[in-house]
Amino acid sequence: MVEALFMMGGLGLIVGVGLAAASKVFYVYVDPVIEAVEGALPGANCGGCGFPGCSANAKAIVAGKSSPGSCVAASEDTAQAIAAIMGVSVEAREPDIAKPGCYFGLQGADVKYLYNGLSDCRAAVLLSGGMKVCSVGCLGLGSCVKACTFGAVTMGPEGLPVVNEKRCTGCGACERVCPKHIITLSSVTRRILREYTTEECTTPCQRSCPAGINIREYIRQISMGDYHKAVQVIKERNPFPTVIGRICPRPCETECRRKYVDEPLAINYLKRFVSDFEKESGERVLPYKAPATGRKIAVVGGGVEGLSAAYFSARLGHEVALFEATSKLGGLLRSAIARYRLSHEILDWDIQGILDMGVTAHTGKSLGKDFTVDSLLEQDFQAVLLASGGWDSRMTRGADKSEAPVPGTSLLIDFLKASSEDRKKWASESQVVIAGGEKLAMIAARQCREFKQNVTVLFREAREQSPVELAEIEAIEKEGVQIVFGAAITRLFGEKNSLTDLEYMASGVKTVIAAQKLLIASGRFPELLFTKVKAEAAEEGAEAPVQGPIRWEARLPYKQPAYKDQVGLFAQGDVLSDYSAAIKAIAAGRRAAVSVHQAMYDIPSELPENVLTPDSALQDVDHLENVKALPRKIMPLCDAKELAGCGELEKGFSEAAAQAEASRCLQCGLICYEHPEGMIAEKKEALAA
């Protein structure tokens, strides 16, 4: 009996030691933060967050790949509790909704392929390219339907996915299984932030529009008689529909596919028709805004770009204050366009629509005189965006040569034209940097050296490509001027209202140098966004650093996609004076608003590799078949006698003319288009519904 007890005790001891050793060998560390987050989640494991269960979502939240409010089965209190565990705050955001991006299903495809028994889109895309020649066309096998656990996606009668927005949780399961990115998550915020890619079914007119308006869709809404919806579509990317409907140079019409049959569609006249309809109805169409973020942004400049940037920032949920030096908003639209082409009444209507989005305007306030960048940052503005315009804007507002909206920065032409006494005052700082200017930069550098300044000249060109002769370069370098070739300014740094340093890139290497004065050779001050330099966090137990003067940094908005590989200030593609068209300034305003949003949330601003550019290789067509010729509707004009009464040279389309012109639209896809008979049938069905 005693032996048995000793034996059992010994076995227990051996097992205990073995288990203890195994626990050390096979020990798995569990992050207590992940454990706490998982404990706060309801444990529904429904997959609505886009991850396979609450454990996976908890790991994603801690890793920053999912938000504290990502659980669709939880309440707002759960999101707040998780945020408290993470040490972050929760901002309200609009929901993501899945959205199909293909227009023609299996039934409408001209070229079809056999699936040979395959029932999954991901497998079918590997076999002969799917159901039609179009590289982004929907395969129609419904893998997105099978992936949706909430029954929010079904296949419609045309063989295309249809989304029930009330059931959709925005989990992204359908997006992940679609091999051609036909169905993607969408929201107003996403559509403002994104640039088009080669994976999307864009139309020729949309690709050529600088603002990227969904032209196909707003003309479809016109053809169905839903004019307010058409305005809503336009305002997704254009806050000036009534103005642009009168003055746009219409690059979209140059690419319209109807040119292969008769004449391009009167796209811009149709935009004018629906925007005039909105104005005459007296019912303002306000596009959707994201929930308030509680973040404040200051926009300096009340021209097209500044107003557009303020508009898109407000739609992203930010509180926006706009500062304009003159007494009226509108910039060159107000001062440089004949009234018979654009009346002040029309301009004011569109501007009021921007203000109605929640933008607060302060006129008669000039940067550098009435306020400064650092004074705005001290007022709890998270970012300051400079959109003061170019040479023409400057002359219009009567700005003098001492204007310096960017601290420590002047135009090179102003420096060279100034008196010797003024130049001495401007160049009183010890560190002067001259950006560009070719031979004029050499003259300015020598003048600065007369006042004993340290001078650095930054040229974007390589030494062998410089328009300045080698002998002159060598001579001025002997005089103590440092010249850097292949250099692009990427950031500015300052304290209070003074410039202190700048960062430039040369040969792929970023270098920061002291700079108290910057002379730039362009005809405008750069479009910059200013943010506070974040103070370094104090170590645990250490005293908090004493708050000193405001330190700021200024960076550039991201480049337009056509020049995405360019770097720095006034690179190729950047505007050197004023925009050649208002529609281009609108596009720049949206990019600036997006850049501010990204800077505040530490979102990288790099564009995707497959971003759509004029040089992108895309499928297209070079002729049309089975399309009947239809004459383009001509815009009626006021004659010389009528002009005083009309007020405008162009009278605008009647409703009958607009409907007739809208019926000419082929409702194109990437390489597809509708035949007239199909278009008529679809419109009849839509109107009947």
Domain borders along the chain are 22-86, 97-186, 204-285+621-688, 290-391+575-618, 409-524
Return the pLDDT at 452: 78
**What value does the mean pLDDT of the chain take?**
87
Average of per-residue pLDDT across 252-280? 96
Q: What pLDDT is stored for residue 131 in this prediction?
A: 64
Domain 290-391+575-618 has CATH 3.40.50.10330: no
The topology (CATH level 3) of 97-186 is Alpha-Beta Plaits (3.30.70)
Question: CA-CA distance, 624 to 361, in Å (whole number)?
Answer: 49
d(CA 375, CA 384): 10
Range in 317-321, 522-526, 587-591, 634-638 with the lowest mean pLDDT: 522-526
Measured in degrees and rounded to the nearest 5, phi and psi for residue 623 equal -160, 160
Contact between 315 and 354 under an 8 Å Cβ cutoff? The reply is no
Instruction: Taking residues 599-617, report their average pLDDT.
Output: 92
Residue 137 pLDDT grade (very low, low, confident, very high; cuts 50, 70, 90): confident
Asked if 436 contacts 520 with a C-beta cutoff of 8 angstroms, the reply is yes
Query: 223 or 46: whose pLDDT is higher?
Result: 223
Residues, the chain: 689
Beta bridge partners of 553: 493, 531
CA separation for the pair 203, 288 (Å, rounded):
24
d(CA 568, CA 559): 9
- The label of the residue with tokens 């288009």 reads 673
Supply 614's token pair: 């004029």
- Reply yes or no on whether the pLDDT at 422 is more than 80: no
| Integer angstrom CA distances of residue 33 from 39, 49, 62, 83 | 10, 19, 7, 11
Question: 204-285+621-688: which CATH architecture?
Answer: Orthogonal Bundle (1.10)
Task: Return the DSSP state at 464.
Answer: G
CATH topology of domain 22-86: 3-methyladenine DNA Glycosylase II; Chain A, domain 3 (1.10.15)
Please tell me the least confidently modeled range out of 477-486, 506-515, 671-680: 671-680
Choose which CATH entry (3.40.50.300, 2.40.50.100, 3.50.50.60, 3.40.190.10) describes domain 409-524. Answer: 3.50.50.60
Q: What pLDDT is attached to residue 423?
A: 73
Reduced to 3 states (helix: H, G, I; strand: E, B; else coil), residue 572 is coil
Ramachandran angles phi, psi of 11, nearest 5°: -60, -40
Answer yes or no: same fold for 22-86 and 204-285+621-688. Answer: no
Q: Is the pLDDT of residue 265 over 60?
A: yes
Q: Considering just the CA atoms, what is the radius of gyration of the chain in Å?
A: 30
pLDDT given at position 42 = 75
- Report percent pLDDT > 70 for the chain: 87
Predicted confidence (pLDDT) at residue 12 exceeds the cutoff of 80: no
